[in-house]
Amino acid sequence: MTHVIITGGSSGIGLAVASIYAARGARLSLVARSRDLLEQAAQKLVAEHGLEAGAVRMEAADVSKGEEIEAAIFRCVDAFGPCDVLVTSAGVVEPAPFEAMQGAAFHRQMETNFSGTVHAVRAVYPDMKERRSGHILMVSSGAGLIGIYGYTAYCASKFALSGFAQALRSEARVHNIGVSICFPPDTETPQFERELAARPAEASVIMGTVRPWTAEAVARKIVKGIDRQRFEIYFGATLFLLGRFGPAVRPIIDWWFDRSIARNSGL
């Protein structure tokens, strides 16, 4: 039976991915900071898919703390066996202009979004390598493909994931380990609602023109990408073009962004 470990699995994209694997009869381990949200997520999965009691394991842990997340994942492996699929969906976004962003907020986004992914991967990679089996899916963002006003820390953390994923893919493929990275657009999640309240007006001029995806739609594309062993998973034509032809099209997009921001700010 497939064992799927999902960080950030208590809500949003992580929970939607868990629901797909639950329907397939996989063993699920959900890791998140809030025990209450984890329990709600587990109850939802059990009710919707008729799972047996104990079919969903919950571990409250902060991915930014290496020893804490590794210990949590090790407990999941002890309970359900080796990890077959790791999905690193835990993340945080706190938009603000760079000069207005507190250093702690910048650090928190880097440590959660980038280092948190590295910590989780480190916990499962050696065993996957020994077994010559497994798949790792990292959740980046459309903001990991182009810089966005007010998102210096978030963009930096998500761009960093691309370099990590590319290098890890090169190392992992000879050990029969799959590596994927996905770049979701704005997605309807509880965190997205909090993000909108803090999003600078200059960013809304650009990002507010695109309708957000549902977490379920994003999750279906993620799982399909894992099934097909795709390295990069994009959502929509714009993000695909940015991912594949970024250096060529980015100057045009930057020009449009700059023009739109200046026009709406009266500069």
Active site (catalytic) residues: 140, 154, 158
Residue 174: DSSP 8-state? G
At 199, the amino acid letter reads: R
At 156, the amino acid letter reads: A
Orientation of helix 12-23 relative to helix 215-227, angle to 10°: 60
> Residue 128 phi/psi, 5° resolution?
-60, -40
Residue 8: DSSP 8-state? T
Q: Are 182 and 137 in contact (CB under 8 A)?
A: yes
CA dihedral 155, 156, 161, 162 (to 10 degrees): 80
Smallest CA-to-CA distance from 202 within 254, 160, 149, 131 is with: 149
3-state DSSP assignment of residue 165:
helix
**SS3 sequence of 5-30:** EEECCCCHHHHHHHHHHHHCCCEEEE
